[in-house]
Protein backbone atom coordinates (compact mmCIF):
# COMPACT_ATOMS: atom_id res chain seq x y z
CA UNK A 1 0.00 0.00 0.00
CA UNK A 2 2.82 2.42 0.90
CA UNK A 3 4.40 2.05 -2.55
CA UNK A 4 1.07 2.74 -4.29
CA UNK A 5 0.56 5.88 -2.18
CA UNK A 6 4.09 7.03 -2.99
CA UNK A 7 3.45 6.47 -6.70
CA UNK A 8 0.17 8.35 -6.65
CA UNK A 9 1.67 11.22 -4.65
CA UNK A 10 4.63 11.57 -7.03
CA UNK A 11 2.40 11.46 -10.10
CA UNK A 12 -0.17 13.88 -8.69
CA UNK A 13 1.64 16.96 -9.94
CA UNK A 14 0.75 17.91 -13.56
CA UNK A 15 4.35 18.85 -14.39
CA UNK A 16 5.67 15.54 -13.11
CA UNK A 17 3.04 13.81 -15.23
CA UNK A 18 4.29 15.73 -18.26
CA UNK A 19 7.83 14.57 -17.45
CA UNK A 20 6.74 10.96 -17.16
CA UNK A 21 4.83 11.12 -20.45
CA UNK A 22 7.90 12.47 -22.22
CA UNK A 23 10.28 9.96 -20.65
CA UNK A 24 7.94 7.16 -21.60
CA UNK A 25 8.67 8.09 -25.23
CA UNK A 26 12.40 8.89 -25.08
CA UNK A 27 15.39 9.04 -22.73
CA UNK A 28 16.05 12.75 -22.13
CA UNK A 29 18.56 14.90 -20.28
CA UNK A 30 17.71 17.77 -17.93
CA UNK A 31 18.84 20.28 -20.58
CA UNK A 32 16.57 18.68 -23.19
CA UNK A 33 13.63 18.67 -20.76
CA UNK A 34 14.29 22.36 -20.09
CA UNK A 35 14.02 23.10 -23.81
CA UNK A 36 10.87 21.03 -24.24
CA UNK A 37 8.98 22.22 -21.15
CA UNK A 38 10.39 25.76 -20.98
CA UNK A 39 11.11 25.37 -17.26
CA UNK A 40 14.11 26.23 -15.15
CA UNK A 41 16.83 23.66 -14.55
CA UNK A 42 16.30 23.62 -10.78
CA UNK A 43 12.55 23.02 -11.16
CA UNK A 44 13.07 20.08 -13.49
CA UNK A 45 15.85 18.64 -11.31
CA UNK A 46 13.57 18.86 -8.25
CA UNK A 47 10.73 17.06 -10.05
CA UNK A 48 13.11 14.38 -11.33
CA UNK A 49 14.53 13.88 -7.83
CA UNK A 50 11.03 13.32 -6.46
CA UNK A 51 10.19 10.88 -9.25
CA UNK A 52 13.46 9.06 -8.70
CA UNK A 53 12.84 8.87 -4.94
CA UNK A 54 9.43 7.35 -5.66
CA UNK A 55 11.12 4.74 -7.86
CA UNK A 56 9.39 5.98 -11.01
CA UNK A 57 12.46 7.10 -13.00
CA UNK A 58 16.12 6.11 -13.25
CA UNK A 59 19.09 7.71 -14.91
CA UNK A 60 22.22 6.61 -16.74
CA UNK A 61 25.39 8.59 -17.24
CA UNK A 62 26.33 9.55 -20.79
CA UNK A 63 29.30 11.87 -21.18
CA UNK A 64 28.89 14.93 -18.97
CA UNK A 65 25.13 14.55 -18.49
CA UNK A 66 22.57 11.92 -17.52
CA UNK A 67 19.63 10.59 -19.47
CA UNK A 68 16.42 9.85 -17.57
CA UNK A 69 13.90 7.11 -18.31
CA UNK A 70 11.01 5.41 -16.47
CA UNK A 71 11.88 2.43 -14.33
CA UNK A 72 10.40 -0.85 -15.60
CA UNK A 73 6.76 -0.48 -14.57
CA UNK A 74 5.46 -4.01 -14.97
CA UNK A 75 1.81 -3.94 -13.97
CA UNK A 76 2.04 -0.91 -11.68
CA UNK A 77 -0.86 1.57 -11.41
CA UNK A 78 1.38 4.16 -13.07
CA UNK A 79 0.71 2.61 -16.48
CA UNK A 80 -3.00 3.29 -16.21
CA UNK A 81 -2.39 6.78 -14.83
CA UNK A 82 -0.12 7.71 -17.74
CA UNK A 83 -2.50 6.28 -20.33
CA UNK A 84 -5.33 8.39 -18.90
CA UNK A 85 -3.09 11.45 -18.52
CA UNK A 86 -2.01 11.28 -22.15
CA UNK A 87 -5.63 11.87 -23.22
CA UNK A 88 -6.40 14.56 -20.63
CA UNK A 89 -3.33 16.80 -20.31
CA UNK A 90 -3.67 19.44 -23.00
CA UNK A 91 0.07 20.19 -23.04
CA UNK A 92 0.96 16.62 -24.03
CA UNK A 93 0.68 16.96 -27.84
CA UNK A 94 2.86 20.09 -27.89
CA UNK A 95 5.30 18.46 -25.44
CA UNK A 96 5.70 15.49 -27.74
CA UNK A 97 6.21 17.73 -30.77
CA UNK A 98 8.90 19.67 -28.89
CA UNK A 99 10.48 16.39 -27.80
CA UNK A 100 10.70 15.15 -31.39
CA UNK A 101 12.43 18.41 -32.32
CA UNK A 102 14.97 17.98 -29.51
CA UNK A 103 15.68 14.37 -30.48
CA UNK A 104 16.20 15.43 -34.10
CA UNK A 105 18.76 17.98 -32.90
CA UNK A 106 20.56 15.20 -31.01
CA UNK A 107 20.58 13.05 -34.16
CA UNK A 108 21.75 16.01 -36.24
CA UNK A 109 24.69 16.46 -33.86
CA UNK A 110 25.71 12.82 -34.31
CA UNK A 111 25.24 13.07 -38.07
CA UNK A 112 27.34 16.27 -38.19
CA UNK A 113 30.20 14.47 -36.43
CA UNK A 114 30.22 11.69 -39.03
CA UNK A 115 29.88 14.23 -41.84
CA UNK A 116 33.04 15.91 -40.54
CA UNK A 117 34.80 12.54 -40.34
CA UNK A 118 33.87 11.40 -43.85
CA UNK A 119 36.99 10.19 -45.62
CA UNK A 120 39.00 10.20 -42.39
CA UNK A 121 37.72 7.16 -40.46
CA UNK A 122 40.30 4.87 -42.02
CA UNK A 123 43.08 7.27 -41.03
CA UNK A 124 42.05 8.47 -37.60
CA UNK A 125 41.58 6.49 -34.42
CA UNK A 126 38.11 5.04 -33.86
CA UNK A 127 37.48 3.37 -30.46
CA UNK A 128 37.09 -0.38 -30.80
CA UNK A 129 37.82 -0.43 -34.52
CA UNK A 130 40.92 -2.34 -35.53
CA UNK A 131 42.01 -4.38 -38.50
CA UNK A 132 42.47 -7.35 -36.13
CA UNK A 133 38.83 -7.22 -35.02
CA UNK A 134 37.65 -6.85 -38.63
CA UNK A 135 39.84 -9.77 -39.71
CA UNK A 136 38.48 -11.95 -36.90
CA UNK A 137 34.89 -11.10 -37.85
CA UNK A 138 35.51 -11.95 -41.51
CA UNK A 139 37.35 -15.15 -40.64
CA UNK A 140 34.40 -16.35 -38.57
CA UNK A 141 32.19 -15.97 -41.64
CA UNK A 142 34.51 -18.27 -43.60
CA UNK A 143 33.01 -21.70 -44.37
CA UNK A 144 34.64 -24.74 -42.73
CA UNK A 145 37.57 -25.41 -45.07
CA UNK A 146 40.86 -27.24 -44.90
CA UNK A 147 43.42 -24.44 -45.06
CA UNK A 148 47.17 -24.57 -45.58
CA UNK A 149 49.09 -21.70 -43.97
CA UNK A 150 52.43 -21.77 -45.79
CA UNK A 151 55.38 -20.15 -44.01
CA UNK A 152 53.24 -20.10 -40.89
CA UNK A 153 55.96 -18.96 -38.49
CA UNK A 154 54.80 -19.34 -34.90
CA UNK A 155 51.24 -20.01 -36.04
CA UNK A 156 49.69 -16.71 -34.96
CA UNK A 157 47.70 -16.41 -38.18
CA UNK A 158 46.91 -20.13 -38.12
CA UNK A 159 45.24 -19.60 -34.74
CA UNK A 160 42.93 -17.03 -36.32
CA UNK A 161 42.15 -19.29 -39.27
CA UNK A 162 41.40 -22.19 -36.91
CA UNK A 163 38.36 -20.36 -35.49
CA UNK A 164 36.35 -21.26 -38.61
CA UNK A 165 38.45 -23.77 -40.53
CA UNK A 166 37.75 -27.48 -40.50
CA UNK A 167 41.51 -27.97 -40.23
CA UNK A 168 44.58 -25.75 -40.60
CA UNK A 169 47.82 -27.26 -41.88
CA UNK A 170 50.57 -24.91 -40.70
CA UNK A 171 53.84 -25.47 -42.57
CA UNK A 172 57.17 -23.87 -41.68
CA UNK A 173 60.84 -24.76 -42.25
CA UNK A 174 61.88 -23.70 -38.74
CA UNK A 175 61.68 -26.45 -36.12
CA UNK A 176 61.70 -23.82 -33.37
CA UNK A 177 58.78 -21.96 -34.97
CA UNK A 178 56.82 -25.23 -35.15
CA UNK A 179 57.59 -25.86 -31.47
CA UNK A 180 56.36 -22.39 -30.47
CA UNK A 181 53.26 -22.90 -32.62
CA UNK A 182 52.44 -26.12 -30.77
CA UNK A 183 52.81 -24.26 -27.46
CA UNK A 184 50.50 -21.43 -28.59
CA UNK A 185 47.84 -23.83 -29.81
CA UNK A 186 47.97 -25.79 -26.56
CA UNK A 187 47.73 -22.58 -24.51
CA UNK A 188 44.59 -21.55 -26.40
CA UNK A 189 43.15 -25.09 -26.40
CA UNK A 190 43.02 -25.17 -30.21
CA UNK A 191 43.16 -28.70 -31.57
CA UNK A 192 42.41 -28.31 -35.28
CA UNK A 193 45.89 -27.07 -36.30
CA UNK A 194 48.31 -29.62 -37.73
CA UNK A 195 51.86 -28.22 -37.54
CA UNK A 196 54.17 -29.72 -40.14
CA UNK A 197 57.88 -29.12 -40.58
CA UNK A 198 58.73 -28.70 -44.25
CA UNK A 199 59.98 -26.57 -47.10
CA UNK A 200 57.72 -24.38 -49.22
CA UNK A 201 59.08 -25.98 -52.39
CA UNK A 202 58.37 -29.53 -51.16
CA UNK A 203 55.28 -29.25 -49.00
CA UNK A 204 54.49 -32.13 -46.60
CA UNK A 205 50.88 -32.07 -47.85
CA UNK A 206 49.13 -34.57 -50.12
CA UNK A 207 47.92 -33.58 -53.57
CA UNK A 208 44.41 -32.12 -53.47
CA UNK A 209 44.34 -32.12 -49.65
CA UNK A 210 43.29 -28.50 -49.05
CA UNK A 211 40.59 -26.03 -50.09
CA UNK A 212 42.58 -22.85 -49.51
CA UNK A 213 46.30 -22.03 -49.51
CA UNK A 214 47.38 -18.89 -47.70
CA UNK A 215 50.73 -17.10 -47.82
CA UNK A 216 50.98 -14.27 -45.30
CA UNK A 217 54.22 -12.31 -45.86
CA UNK A 218 56.11 -15.53 -46.55
CA UNK A 219 56.50 -15.76 -50.34
CA UNK A 220 59.32 -13.20 -50.43
CA UNK A 221 61.36 -15.58 -48.24
CA UNK A 222 61.21 -18.34 -50.87
CA UNK A 223 64.29 -19.19 -52.93
CA UNK A 224 62.14 -19.98 -55.97
CA UNK A 225 58.65 -18.41 -55.79
CA UNK A 226 57.58 -20.06 -59.05
CA UNK A 227 58.22 -23.55 -57.63
CA UNK A 228 56.42 -22.61 -54.41
CA UNK A 229 53.27 -21.58 -56.29
CA UNK A 230 53.39 -24.76 -58.39
CA UNK A 231 53.48 -26.73 -55.11
CA UNK A 232 50.56 -24.68 -53.83
CA UNK A 233 48.56 -25.64 -56.92
CA UNK A 234 49.43 -29.32 -56.37
CA UNK A 235 48.01 -29.49 -52.84
CA UNK A 236 44.82 -27.63 -53.77
CA UNK A 237 41.60 -29.36 -54.70
CA UNK A 238 40.08 -28.48 -58.08
CA UNK A 239 38.24 -25.21 -57.61
CA UNK A 240 40.38 -24.41 -54.55
CA UNK A 241 41.71 -20.92 -53.97
CA UNK A 242 45.03 -19.30 -53.16
CA UNK A 243 45.46 -16.02 -51.27
CA UNK A 244 48.75 -14.19 -50.97
CA UNK A 245 49.66 -11.21 -48.81
CA UNK A 246 53.13 -9.92 -49.57
CA UNK A 247 55.09 -6.72 -50.11
CA UNK A 248 54.93 -4.62 -53.23
CA UNK A 249 58.36 -4.27 -54.84
CA UNK A 250 60.55 -1.88 -52.78
CA UNK A 251 64.16 -0.71 -52.52
CA UNK A 252 64.83 -1.24 -48.84
CA UNK A 253 67.91 -3.46 -49.31
CA UNK A 254 68.42 -3.73 -45.54
CA UNK A 255 65.42 -6.07 -45.46
CA UNK A 256 67.65 -8.87 -46.75
CA UNK A 257 69.73 -8.72 -43.56
CA UNK A 258 67.07 -7.52 -41.10
CA UNK A 259 64.28 -9.91 -42.08
CA UNK A 260 66.04 -12.64 -44.11
CA UNK A 261 64.13 -11.55 -47.22
CA UNK A 262 65.13 -13.23 -50.49
CA UNK A 263 63.01 -10.91 -52.61
CA UNK A 264 62.28 -7.21 -52.15
CA UNK A 265 58.61 -7.80 -52.76
CA UNK A 266 56.85 -8.26 -56.10
CA UNK A 267 55.06 -6.04 -58.57
CA UNK A 268 51.42 -6.81 -59.31
CA UNK A 269 52.32 -7.97 -62.81
CA UNK A 270 55.14 -10.22 -61.51
CA UNK A 271 52.89 -11.94 -59.01
CA UNK A 272 50.07 -12.25 -61.54
CA UNK A 273 52.48 -13.83 -64.03
CA UNK A 274 53.81 -16.29 -61.41
CA UNK A 275 50.27 -17.41 -60.59
CA UNK A 276 49.33 -17.80 -64.24
CA UNK A 277 52.42 -19.92 -64.94
CA UNK A 278 51.51 -22.12 -61.94
CA UNK A 279 48.18 -22.86 -63.64
CA UNK A 280 45.88 -20.54 -61.69
CA UNK A 281 42.96 -18.61 -63.18
CA UNK A 282 40.67 -15.76 -62.07
CA UNK A 283 43.75 -13.90 -60.83
CA UNK A 284 43.17 -10.63 -58.98
CA UNK A 285 45.78 -8.34 -57.45
CA UNK A 286 45.59 -5.08 -55.53
CA UNK A 287 47.54 -2.94 -53.08
CA UNK A 288 45.64 -3.13 -49.80
CA UNK A 289 47.77 -1.16 -47.35
CA UNK A 290 50.64 1.32 -47.06
CA UNK A 291 52.63 1.88 -43.89
CA UNK A 292 52.88 5.56 -42.88
CA UNK A 293 56.41 5.25 -41.48
CA UNK A 294 59.53 4.79 -43.62
CA UNK A 295 60.39 2.79 -45.61
CA UNK A 296 56.60 2.80 -46.20
CA UNK A 297 56.16 -0.84 -47.13
CA UNK A 298 53.02 -1.50 -49.15
CA UNK A 299 51.02 -4.71 -48.88
CA UNK A 300 50.07 -6.52 -52.06
CA UNK A 301 47.19 -9.00 -52.09
CA UNK A 302 46.61 -11.60 -54.76
CA UNK A 303 43.89 -14.23 -55.09
CA UNK A 304 43.39 -16.93 -57.70
CA UNK A 305 41.58 -20.21 -58.38
CA UNK A 306 42.83 -23.65 -59.36
CA UNK A 307 40.64 -24.61 -62.32
CA UNK A 308 38.49 -27.73 -62.07
**What CATH number labels 131-305?**
3.40.50.150
* Global pTM value: 0.64
Q: What pLDDT is stored for residue 12 in this prediction?
A: 77
Q: What pLDDT is stored for residue 91 in this prediction?
A: 47
Residue pair 192/168 in contact (Cβ under 8 Å)? The answer is yes
Question: Domain boundaries in the chain?
Answer: 2-117, 131-305
Q: What is the mean pLDDT of residues 171-183?
A: 94
Instruction: Write down the mean pLDDT value for the chain.
Output: 87
Domain 2-117, architecture per CATH: Orthogonal Bundle (1.10)
Q: What pLDDT is stored for residue 102 in this prediction?
A: 87
User: Which one is predicted more confidently, 134 or 240?
Assistant: 240
Q: What pLDDT is stored for residue 85 in this prediction?
A: 63
pLDDT of 1 strictly over 60: no
Amino acid sequence: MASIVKTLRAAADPNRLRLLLLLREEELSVAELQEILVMGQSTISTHLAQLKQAGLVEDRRTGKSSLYRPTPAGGSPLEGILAQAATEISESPSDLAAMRHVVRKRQDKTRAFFDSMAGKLGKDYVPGKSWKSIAEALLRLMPPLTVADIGAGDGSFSLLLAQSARQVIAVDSSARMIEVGHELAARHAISNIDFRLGDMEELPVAAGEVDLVFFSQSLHHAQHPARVLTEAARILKSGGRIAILDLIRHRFEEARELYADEWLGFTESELSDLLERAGFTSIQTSIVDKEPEGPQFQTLMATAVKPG
